[in-house]
């Protein structure tokens, strides 16, 4: 179980008035069960990626706590192997000096299995995200946007963590590959009970994937709704978002 | 009238000898919006970067790229530099890489606009702030003093879009410009693009996986797969009567998602 409790975060503003700071998250609380897919949908710049970084323990909240099974995520041993991510800025999240194979192998290190096992696992993962084994030797700058994003997805699921933060993780994929990846995630969810924090602007993809959705705006939760009751959303903002969705 | 004609564009990786973009030809008509849709890795970004001559030297390109009467592929590096920005503006797929990480974004705007138009700082700031507001970036004066890493993904994309709106290029090449935008900001951005076309007659190449956005903004569509154009046509016709198997697969994949969504929100 992942608990986010009354989390606040401010950033210092650069520039002349360096002393002033801007609050990005205002007392955010929610939880995500093992094996649940929880969507976070909301305005651009509202603090979704910031929230994702806090959940990963890369940044610390100013106030509040983030707990994984009751233990603070800030402690490295609590989060090791338990939580991974596909970052929104996927191109710069792969080490530029790593080949695709090295990038995907990295989270497998130290799991006690042989190099040959890892090699087979890399091929299997590449295939699952729709890339041929020929990509093993490529460097990140030789990949298209969607190929790089899929390498990040393969890396994030490689060691079957308990939770994955997916920050606009399918945004650069063609719809056919999007559906393939969504099905892969659903399969991993049912086999290994992985939980997802699924941050996206694509409400239709979120509705397909998520059990619940959080509507987020200006650093706050506007509304939380079970996906199968989506049509009953109450807030004006959520209703506007739904109304503006182009359905084809 | 065609403002851009790409004739037999070929892109080859000189390290491996592999042909990545295979004799692609298409034209962009004055004032129209051409969408390029297709498989991930099919060569959409490389094709657009080839027009701008921004691909690394390990990728060798041949063919003619006619902008009005000029073959861009035959220009010197210096002549080509003058083409980028004002005559042809490109919004890159990866927002972060377009900005210098060591400067606040305002510096980039002043350099780019100063170079192309010779405007003063105060003119540039005023124009940029107006453009930023038009794509729902509030408090624009403050945002110009931020470093790229201090902005969200969608804010960076809108910063680049705002710059393009001020540059008013004859051709806008937008590579996945709305991947990080919520539905409402996305609509605002599309409205601005449409406004620019209507008032200035700008033409546009719009690369996107978002079929809803494509249907909304594009007049014509190219479908790419494995380095080739496999289907082309007017937007309405392509969505209602796709001919190629791959195009059908794309549309039916989207239907997998949208049918589910429709069921969820429609009253039984
Ligand atoms: N390192 C930082 N320093 C200062 N401000 C920051 C920093 N990172 C983010 N911000 C600010 O925090 C706010 C929230 O940013 P965040 O990236 O979390 O938004 P988001 O909801 O993910 O948006 P998008 O949908 O566009 O990706 C923005 O106003 C942004 O400018
Ligand atoms: N510098 C490079 N060297 C070698 N191959 C490259 C290089 N850059 C890209 N490629 C390859 O060329 C192909 C086309 O890439 P491109 O970026 O044009 O794809 P795309 O259609 O834009 O895909 P996406 O929708 O995923 O962004 C891809 O298979 C990619 O791996
Ligand atoms: Mg974000
Ligand atoms: Mg691309």
Q: Per residue in A179-202, pLDDT tens?
A: 999 999 999 999 999 999 999 999
How far is residue B204 CA from its own chain's centroid? 8
- What tens digit of pLDDT does each residue of B108-131 get? 999 999 988 999 999 999 999 999
pLDDT of residue A80: 87
Residue with tokens 């039984």: B268
List phi, psi (to 5°) of A12: -70, 140
pLDDT of residue A17: 56
Query: A86 in helix, strand or coil?
Result: strand
Q: Which residues of chain A have pLDDT under 70?
A: 14-19
Looking at the domain assignment, is residue B148 inside a domain? no
The token pair at B175 is 């590579």
Domain A2-243 has CATH 3.40.50.300: yes
CA distances from B206 to B11, B34, B101, B255 (A): 20, 6, 26, 22
Q: Are B64 and B71 in contact (CB under 8 A)?
A: yes
pLDDT band per the 50, 70, 90 thresholds, residue B267? low
pLDDT of residue B179: 87
CA distance B95 to B247: 28
CA distance B149 to A99: 25
pLDDT of residue A111: 85
Domain limits for position B9: 2-98+173-261
Looking at the domain assignment, is residue B214 inside a domain? yes
The three-point CA angle B80-B84-B89 to 5° equals 150
CA distance A52 to A156: 14
The contacts found for B64-73 with CB under 8 angstroms, 24 or more apart, are B64/B5, B64/B6, B64/B7, B64/B8, B65/B4, B65/B5, B65/B6, B65/B7, B65/B9, B66/B2, B66/B4, B66/B5, B66/B6, B66/B7, B67/B3, B67/B4, B67/B171, B68/B3
For chain B, report the end-to-end CA distance as a whole number of angstroms. Answer: 50
How far is residue B31 CA from its own chain's centroid? 15
Sheet containing A163-167: which strands, arranged edge to edge? A83-86, A163-167, A195-199, A37-42, A212-217, A220-226
Domain spans of chain A, in order of start = 2-243
* Mean residue pLDDT across chain B: 93
User: Among B132, B151, B154, which residue has the most ligand 1 atoms within 8 Å of its CB, making it the best to mutate?
Assistant: B151
Sort out which chain B residues have CB atoms less than 8 A from A171's CB and list them.
176, 179-180, 209
A231 in reach of chain B (CB within 8 A): yes
pLDDT band per the 50, 70, 90 thresholds, residue B84? very high
Sort out which chain A residues have CB atoms less than 8 A from B104's CB and list them.
14-15
ipTM for the complex shown: 0.93
List phi, psi (to 5°) of B91: -105, 115
- Give yes or no for residue B80 having a pLDDT over 80: yes
Looking at the domain assignment, is residue B254 inside a domain? yes
Q: Number of A:B CB contacts under 8 A?
A: 156
Looking at the domain assignment, is residue B145 inside a domain? no
Looking at the domain assignment, is residue B69 inside a domain? yes
Which residues have a beta carbon within 5 Å of ligand 3, which is an ion?
A: A 49, 88; B 152-153
Looking at the domain assignment, is residue B16 inside a domain? yes
> Which residue of chain A is at minimal alpha-carbon distance from B42?
A144
pTM: 0.95
- DSSP-assigned letters across all residues of B53-95: T-S-TTEEEEEEEEETTEEGGGS-HHHHHHHBTTTEEEE-SSG
Task: Indicate which of B152, B178, B246 best probes the interface with A, i.e. most A CBs within 10 Å of its own CB.
Answer: B152
The percent of residues in chain B predicted with pLDDT above 90, rounded, is 88
Length of chain A: 248
CA distance B63 to B22: 10
- Give yes or no for residue B87 having a pLDDT over 90: yes
- What tens digit of pLDDT does each residue of B134-174 get? 999 999 999 999 999 999 999 999 999 999 999 999 999 99
Give the mean model confidence (pLDDT) for residues B45-66: 96
pLDDT of residue A18: 56
pLDDT of residue A14: 62
Looking at the domain assignment, is residue B34 inside a domain? yes
Which of B155, B211, B265 has the CB atom closest to A248's CB atom? B211
- Give yes or no for residue B60 having a pLDDT over 70: yes
- Give yes or no for residue B93 having a pLDDT over 70: yes
- Give yes or no for residue B268 having a pLDDT over 70: no
Which CATH number covers residue B89?
Answer: 3.40.50.300
Number of domains in chain B: 1
């Amino acid at each position: 179980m992942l608990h986010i409790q009354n989390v606040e975060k401010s950033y210092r503003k650069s520039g002349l008035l360096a002393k002033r700071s801007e609050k990005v998250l205002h007392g955010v609380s929610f939880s995500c069960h093992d094996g649940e897919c929880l969507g976070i949908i909301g305005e651009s710049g509202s603090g979704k990626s910031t929230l994702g970084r806090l959940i990963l323990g890369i940044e610390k909240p100013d106030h509040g706590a983030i707990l994984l099974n009751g233990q603070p995520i800030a402690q490295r041993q609590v989060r090791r192997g338990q939580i991974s991510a596909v970052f929104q800025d996927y191109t710069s999240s792969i080490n530029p000096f790593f080949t695709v194979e090295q990038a995907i192998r990295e989270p497998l290190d130290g799991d006690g299995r042989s190099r040959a096992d890892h090699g087979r696992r890399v091929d299997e993962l590449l295939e699952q995200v729709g890339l041929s084994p020929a990509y093993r030797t490529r460097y990140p700058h030789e990949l298209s946007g969607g190929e790089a994003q899929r390498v990040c997805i393969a890396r994030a699921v490689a060691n079957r963590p308990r939770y994955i933060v997916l920050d606009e993780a399918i945004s650069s994929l063609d719809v056919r590959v999007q559906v393939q990846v969504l099905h892969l995630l659903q399969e991993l969810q049912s086999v290994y009970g992985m939980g997802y924090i699924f941050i996206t602007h694509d409400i239709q993809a979120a509705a397909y994937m998520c059990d619940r959705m959080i509507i987020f705006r200006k650093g706050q939760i506007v509304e939380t709704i079970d996906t199968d009751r989506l049509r009953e959303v109450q807030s004006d903002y959520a209703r506007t978002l739904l109304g503006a969705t182009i359905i084809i | 009238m065609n403002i851009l004609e790409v004739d037999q564009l070929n892109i080859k990786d000189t390290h491996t000898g592999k042909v990545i973009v295979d004799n692609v030809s298409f034209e962009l008509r004055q004032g129209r919006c051409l969408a390029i849709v297709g498989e991930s890795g099919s060569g959409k970004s490389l094709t657009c970067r080839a027009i701008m001559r921004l691909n690394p030297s390990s990728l060798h390109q041949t063919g003619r790229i006619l902008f009005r009467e000029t073959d861009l592929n035959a220009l010197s590096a210096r002549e080509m530099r003058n083409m980028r920005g004002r005559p042809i503006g490109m919004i890159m797929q990866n927002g972060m890489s377009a900005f210098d990480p060591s400067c606040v974004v305002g510096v980039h705007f002043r350099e780019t606009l100063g170079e192309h138009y010779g405007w003063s700082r105060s003119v540039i700031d005023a124009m940029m702030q107006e453009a930023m507001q038009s794509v729902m970036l509030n408090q624009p004066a403050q945002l110009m003093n931020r470093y790229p890493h201090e902005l969200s993904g969608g804010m960076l994309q809108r910063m680049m879009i705002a710059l393009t709106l001020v540059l008013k290029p004859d051709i806008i090449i937008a590579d996945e410009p709305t991947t990080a935008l919520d539905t409402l900001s996305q609509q605002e951005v599309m409205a601005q693009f449409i406004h620019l076309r209507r008032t200035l007659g700008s033409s546009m190449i719009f690369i996107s996986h978002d079929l809803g956005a494509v249907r909304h903004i594009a007049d014509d569509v190219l479908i790419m797969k494995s380095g080739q154009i496999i289907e082309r046509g007017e937007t309405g016709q392509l969505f209602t009567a796709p001919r190629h198997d791959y195009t059908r697969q794309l549309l039916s994949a989207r239907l997998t998602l949208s049918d589910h969504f429709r069921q969820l929100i429609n009253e039984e």
